[in-house]
Chain A
Amino acid sequence: QQQVKQSPQSLIVQKGGISIINCAYENTAFDYFPWYQQFPGKGPALLIAIRPDVSEKKEGRFTISFNKSAKQFSLHIMDSQPGDSATYFCAASKRRGDYKLSFGAGTTVTVRA
């Protein structure tokens, strides 16, 4: 049973558009929420992460929005570029303890030129 639910499964966006991926969790003990980016033939790599003491974190064109009361968080890719075409995974873990990551099912993003 997946502890982190991710949607959509895939999305197609035009170059310059905004990609939005949503995740939801149930375990209120989670307090660390990273996003990983995976290109074909490669392993996932950390893209950006947020802790619940802030509602938003921005790094370049990538922004995480976090809603603690709704137990939801999302990744926004602004000005999407063809090089952003990849699979994105949200994840969650506890900040203390075993640090195990629970991953969402993944979203394949395709950016059309």
Chain B
Amino acid sequence: GQNIDQPTEMTATEGAIVQINCTYQTSGFNGLFWYQQHAGEAPTFLSYNVLDGLEEKGRFSSFLSRSKGYSYLLLKELQMKDSASYLCAVSDMNAGNMLTFGGGTRLMVKP
């Protein structure tokens, strides 16, 4: 089985930086995904990490450490529109590469 943990809620200020952590345990790790989901909308793909290190994509970056079973999503220069839930999902090759999702982190950006 898999176990994916991320904080339930976080609050940050507009213009600031926030780091959302995700820890996982899986037998056949085959990559980690981050999705953004605004209330009542579809999850949208943000990033994919399969090798250790940092992947940067504009204001968003994602980091992976396979040995620690740990990832984080870093959001810089926060904007009000970044208020959303951020979902961490792990692909397991022993489960046909199916994704298992964490419970999501609800981020509230305040002025």
- Do A and B come from the same complex? no
Residues of B within 8 A of A (CB): none
Residues of A within 8 A of B (CB): none
